[in-house]
Amino acid sequence: MKVGVIGGGAIGMLYAAYLGKNLDVTLYVRRSEQKNLINNIGIILQHQDTSETISIKAVEDYGDLPEQDLIIIAVKQYHLSELIKTLNKIPPDCPLLFLQNGIGHMKLLEQLSHANLYVGTVEHGALKLSDNEVAHKGKGKTNAAVFRGNGKMLSKLSRANIDFPVIIQSDYDLVLLEKLAVNAVINPLTAVLGIQNGRLVENEHFEHLAQSIFDEILLLYPRLNSIIDFEDIKEIASNTRGNTSSMLADLQTKRETEVEAILGAMLEEARSNDVSLSIIPVLYEMVKGLDKERRKG
């Protein structure tokens, strides 16, 4: 099985490394420096106490995308619009799996003509240490579901990687909304407060803020009431207590955040359905403001 992974960030490298143990994997990156490092050395996968090096192929251009049996798109949500033309050139019988935070990318998927489109959410913790080194900070799973077409290739991917589980779910909407709820509570709040995930449940004032945000999310998406509760959010924050959320990491490194794909999409949903929110709009403006301030230099 030939798998292409688009995106040389933490998630792209993590997936390329694990899948590369059993499958023929090509990682598509944007810079020659990263391509050369990976092709010459491999991807160094750091575990808690050990490390291993996995040899895969890295390329800069998308010329051989049509040769892949499955393509995994692991770029940030805000980079997807740059890829739409490229993805539309891929034969429509080639399945695509999208691994983005939030729900802001769902409209873009409608622009694709591919027969089989999948969406997934990532529960792993990953940190990019260098252009060819990634730390697996927390082992989880990939929840994936069919957005359009059949799940044949998704099932094949799931069977191929026992130590990197891909769990197939029946309802893509609930898969995305559940992860959206987790991201919308933990990511922006830790980013604004400048704290690691665990502090949200170790400080009662922060926990109260998190609870209030979660309550607004349930007001906006009542379907989630039967899927996830605040205790689940607390457990995730506790289990990843030492992790820096991706949104806080983006602010610290002056990268663009995914606040539009997460909170921005929620605000658009609230406007469309005439739902009044009080805390999420404030949190959105705070993240946007911090993003603007820290990227000035």
- Give the pLDDT confidence of 43-52 residue by residue, as tens digits: 999 998 899 9
Instruction: Collapse the DSSP code of 114 into the 3-class scheme (helix H, G, I; strand E, B; otherwise coil) and give the result.
Output: coil
Residue 143's pLDDT is 95
Tokens in use for 126?
């990953």
What is the 8-class DSSP label of residue 257?
A: P
Q: What is the mean pLDDT of the chain?
A: 94
Average pLDDT value for residue range 180-200: 96
Alpha-carbon torsion 236, 237, 238, 239, what sign?
positive
Tens of pLDDT, residues 235-266: 999 988 888 999 999 999 898 899 999 999 99
Residue 297's pLDDT is 60
Model confidence pTM above 0.75: yes
Tokens in use for 161?
């990687």
First vs last Cα of the chain: how many Å apart? 45
DSSP assignment of 132-169 equals: TEEEEEE---EEEEEEES--HHHHHHHHH-TTS-EEE-
Average pLDDT value for residue range 145-164: 92
Residue of 215, 217, 183, 185 whose CA lies nearest to 201: 185
Banded model confidence at residue 138, pLDDT cuts 50, 70, 90: confident
Domain boundary assignment for the chain: 2-170, 174-294
Instruction: Collapse the DSSP code of 126 into the 3-class scheme (helix H, G, I; strand E, B; otherwise coil) and give the result.
Output: strand
Instruction: Check if CATH label 1.20.120.160 holds for domain 174-294.
Output: no
What is the CB-side half-sphere exposure of residue 50 using CA atoms within 13 A? 2
Tens of pLDDT, residues 273-284: 999 999 999 999
Asked whether the beta carbons of 90 and 84 are under 8 A apart, the reply is: no
Residue 42's pLDDT is 98
Residue of 168, 122, 176, 105 whose CA lies nearest to 5: 122
Residue 141 bears catalytic tag: no
Tens of pLDDT, residues 52-102: 999 999 999 998 898 999 999 999 988 998 899 899 999 999 999 999 988
Q: Do domains 2-170 and 174-294 have the same CATH topology?
A: no
CA dist., res. 289 & res. 100, Å (int): 23
Q: Which of 128, 179, 234, 288 is catalytic?
A: 179
Residue 98's pLDDT is 97
Banded model confidence at residue 177, pLDDT cuts 50, 70, 90: very high
Alpha-carbon torsion 45, 243, 175, 109, what sign?
negative
Amino acid at 78: Y
CATH of domain 2-170: 3.40.50.720
